[in-house]
Structure 1
Amino acid sequence: MLVEWDWWTVDFGDAHAGAAGALVGGSEPRPVYFDVGSGSDVPSTTHWSAYDGRARRPRADALRAACACGWRSAAQYFLDWDTIGDRPLYEADVDLTGPLADWTAHLSVVRDAAVPLPERLAALLAEIAGQLTATAADVPLAALRAAGVLERIAARVGRETAGALRDDGMPAEVVATALGITRSRALVLLLTAQDG
């Protein structure tokens, strides 16, 4: 199934990617499948824009904010089908500011619960990001090499740190909250450290 997230942050990556989610009859509809002819692979999606009532697909009544972590906003933003008319939703001028604001508020709660980065490290990471972006424009292969080095450093330090936390008996729930990830991802992180 194709999962298309509309919003993403560097802080939390895909753990807290966000989107406007469709509501049909007050609940989240099943995925929409696309008939692409014969074959065993039938593509599907849950992206809000697919729920426009066309080609026997359900028609969304409202949208709400959704997060990859499973969080859903309580607020619903009803679609004005008189204004949308017969157009596909992806062509209509649908206002997503409400769902985006709700998802942003959710991220604030996650960010407030997460362990803060030391100020010096946060500044260094911002500087590295700037340098990598500038290098990518000037010398793309050097930027790619540097990204690989950073990835290996991060993987090694991450394995060692996760292993130490696991050995200290740190609960997955505490790790999840501190890192802004789901409990299942925290468990994987702690268990993977065993193999590292």
Structure 2
Amino acid sequence: MGEGGVLVEWDWWTVDFGDAHAGAAGVLVGGSEPGPVYFDVGSGPDVPSSTHRSAYDGRHRRPRAEVLRAVCACGWRGAAEYPVDWATIGDRPLYEADVDLSGPLADWTAHLSVVRDATVPLPERLAALLVEIAEQLTATAADKPLAALRAAGVLERIAARVGREAAGALRDDGMPAEEVAIALGTTRSKALVLLLTAQHG
């Protein structure tokens, strides 16, 4: 569930921001975001549900998407609305239709630019090293998957140690979680977790 309380299946994701700013083309029905669509699969305690745009096709008494708009896991919603062309889609299920998502994707990308502009810049050399490490790991994963896993484990341990030290310094300086969240391009709750982890690390 996203921070805004809306269950969404995310389509877009970046390495920079991970799931804190995952995006999707959300739907509006009657001018508002509909609740999840539940699928009848017989009896049992678990009833599968979805808020993916493809679930809102009007079939089997489900709501029918009227417009699409960009949504982000952080709670941001795009202002622009893109009508769903049911005349072209016809009776096909929405997941089979070739729906143009370029508008919502462009809006979400613009949102990420605003988020990125507010984050603390990485030193140039460090940014270049991170790109090089990502390329090397990707190549190694294709040729030597066990070596790539070992390297990923080493990086994870380095990141955890350095992260605890850096978060501890921020906590000692009294930097509020809201400022940390903006500087990192993450959510307030994730920033709090970082600061608390440093306290107990």
TM range (shorter): over 0.9
CA distance in 2, matches of 1:129, 1:192: 26
Give per-residue Cα distances to partners, 1:84-109, cap 9 Å, x unaligned: 11111111110000000000000000
Find out whether 1:56 has 2:45 as its counterpart. no
**Aligned counterpart in structure 1 of residue 24 of structure 2, from 19, 24, 27:** 19
Aligned pairs for 1:66-77 within 5 A: 66-77=71-82
Query: Match for residue 31 of structure 1?
Result: 36
C-alpha displacement at 1:4, in angstroms?
A: 1.9
Distance in 2 (CA, whole Å) between partners of 1:43 and 1:192 is 34
**CA-to-aligned-CA distance 1:28-69 (integer Å, 9 cap, x gap):** 000111111111011111111110011111001000000011
Match of 1:42 in 2: 47
Q: Residue in 2 aligned with 1:157?
A: 162
Counterpart amino acid of 2:48? P
Take 2:148 and 2:121, find their aligned partners in 1: how far apart are those partners? 27
The answer to whether structure 1 residue 190 and structure 2 residue 195 are counterparts is yes
Q: In structure 2, what is the Cα distance between the partners aligned to 1:26 and 1:135? A: 48
SS of 1:90 mapped into structure 2: helix
Task: In structure 1, list runs of 5 or more residues that go unmatched.
Answer: none
Aligned partner of 2:119 in structure 1 is 114
Q: Secondary structure at the match of 1:176?
A: helix
TM-score, with structure 2 as normaliser: 0.95
Segments of 5+ residues of structure 2 without an aligned counterpart are: 2-6
In 1, the alpha carbon distance for the partners of 2:131 and 2:158 equals: 17
- Residue 93 of structure 1 is matched in structure 2 by 98
TM superposition outliers: structure 1 runs of 4+ over 2 Å: none
Count, aligned residues:
196
1:141-165: per-residue Cα shift (whole Å, max 9, x none)? 0000000110111011111111111
Say whether 1:80 aligns with 2:85.
Answer: yes
Deviates more, 1:122-131 or 1:184-193: 184-193
- Equivalent position to 1:171, from 165, 169, 176: 176
Give TM-score, length-normalised by structure 1. 0.97
**Cα deviation code 1:69-92 (max 9, x no counterpart):** 110001100111111111111111
Secondary structure of 1:17 counterpart = strand
CA RMSD of aligned residues (A): 1.1
